[in-house]
Structures are given as C-alpha cells and as structure tokens.
C-alpha cells in the first residue's frame, strides 16, 4: 500500500510529538531535582508532560487505524507479546525485591519503563516475521 | 485456506506492489495472502474477487471441505 501523503505527515507529527514529550519529561525531571519550588508548582511540573503524551497517544491510535488489516493484526500480536512480558518483568522484580532487596536506584519503576518499548519492538519484530 | 491470487496476478502481469496499490493494502499483506500465511477478511476477499472479476470461491478455497 502506497501510504498517502497525509499518513506520512501523520508519522512526522507522531515523531515530533514524541520528541516534545521526551523533552518535557526530562525537563520536568531536571526541574524536580534541581529547582526549589512549592508543592503545587512541583505537582504542575510533574504533570506537565502528560498532555504531550496524550496527544502522542491520539496520533498513534489514528496511525494504527489508517493501517491495513494485516498491519493492525501485527500490532495486536505485538501487544499480546509485549503486555504479558511487561507484567512478567514487574512481577519478577517485585518478588526479587522481596527476596534479595534489589537496589531501588537501579530497579525502580523509573528504570523499568525503558523495557516497555523494547518489549513492544520485540513483539512487532516477532509478529511481522510470522507474515513475511 | 488456499487461493489463486498469485496465478491471477501473474495472468495480468501485475507486480505485488501494483496489486497492493489497487487493493489499498501493503505489499506485505499481498505476500502473506499469496503464501497462505494470512487469510484476508471477508471485505478484503470480496474486494479481491471484484478486482479480478471472479466469484470469491474461484479465488479462495478451503484447505479441506468437511463432510456435512
């Protein structure tokens, strides 16, 4: 399927919004760590990246809806792989935390989220290979 | 499910990319249908049948016809 121009523009928008979210996220982290602020301002800064991610989610779903039926199936199978893997990781880390007291600085949820896009990419790769 | 998509495409001298564009799907989808790795939805199967001007059962056949 030759992607229409508006789809390519859509992918560009997704990339830009994702980049904006990442910048806002790391900016918020930096501010929360280094800047002296009142409680409500800290809450506002913590919530600042949320609208960017919400917009990313809307554009991402719109992009998936523009795909053909096989591409949508691949996305579904990717999520069917990634979601249980994420649950497995969190469950295992939770149990290990109880067993051997894992260092919070290395294994907290703040670090674990990095694995989620990795699992999703792995799922996409496995699902796409099935239909090659 | 078996299908004659590859044969019908070859008869018209269409590439997979051309067929994909006419069906408004990705080339990967055409490949997966031709190799039997993916069975299309009913709307897509009808679209394929309409494009080739044939009844759907002339293009797609079940692997095994069960006994009634």
Dump the DSSP string for chain A.
-PPPHHHHHHHHHHHHHHHHHHHHHHHHHHHHHHS---HHHHHHHHHTTHHHHHHHHHHHHHHHHTS-HHHHHHHHHHHHHHHHHHHHHHHHHHHHHHHH---HHHHSHHHHTTHHHHHHHHHHHHHHHHT-
For residues B51 and B29, what is the distance between their CA atoms, to the nearest angstrom?
Answer: 16
Nearest chain B alpha carbon to A128? B28
Nearest chain B alpha carbon to A68? B25
Tens-place pLDDT, residues A91-109: 988 888 888 877 777 777 6
Domains and CATH numbers, chain B: 2-56 (1.10.260.40)
Q: What is the ipTM of this complex?
A: 0.85
Q: Is B28 on the interface with A (CB under 8 A)?
A: yes
Domain ranges of chain A: 1-66, 68-132
- Provide the chain B residues 33-62 that lie in CB contact (below 8 A) with chain A: 37-38, 40-41, 44
Q: What is the mean pLDDT of chain A?
A: 89
Residues of chain B with pLDDT under 50: none
Partner-chain contact A1 B24, CB within 8 Å: yes
pLDDT confidence bin for A70, thresholds 50/70/90: very high
Looking at residue A112, its pLDDT comes to 80
């Amino acid at each position: 399927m030759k992607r229409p121009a508006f789809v390519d523009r859509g992918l560009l928008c997704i990339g830009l919004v994702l980049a904006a979210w990442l910048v806002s996220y790391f900016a918020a982290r930096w501010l929360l760590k280094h800047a002296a602020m009142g409680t409500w301002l800290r809450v506002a800064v913590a919530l600042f990246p949320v609208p960017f991610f919400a917009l990313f989610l809307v554009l991402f779903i719109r992009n998936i809806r523009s795909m053909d039926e096989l591409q949508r199936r691949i996305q579904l199978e990717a999520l069917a792989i990634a979601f249980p893997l994420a649950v497995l990781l969190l469950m295992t880390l939770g149990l290990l935390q109880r067993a051997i007291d894992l260092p919070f600085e290395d294994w907290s949820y703040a670090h674990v989220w990095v694995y989620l896009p990795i699992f999703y990419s792995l799922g996409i790769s496995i699902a796409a290979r099935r239909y090659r | 499910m078996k299908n004659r998509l590859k044969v019908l495409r070859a008869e018209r001298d269409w590439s997979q990319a051309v067929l994909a564009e006419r069906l408004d799907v990705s080339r990967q989808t055409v490949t997966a249908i031709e190799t039997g790795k993916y069975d299309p939805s009913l709307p897509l199967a009808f679209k394929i049948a309409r494009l080739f001007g044939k009844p759907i059962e002339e293009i797609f056949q079940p692997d095994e016809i069960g006994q009634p």
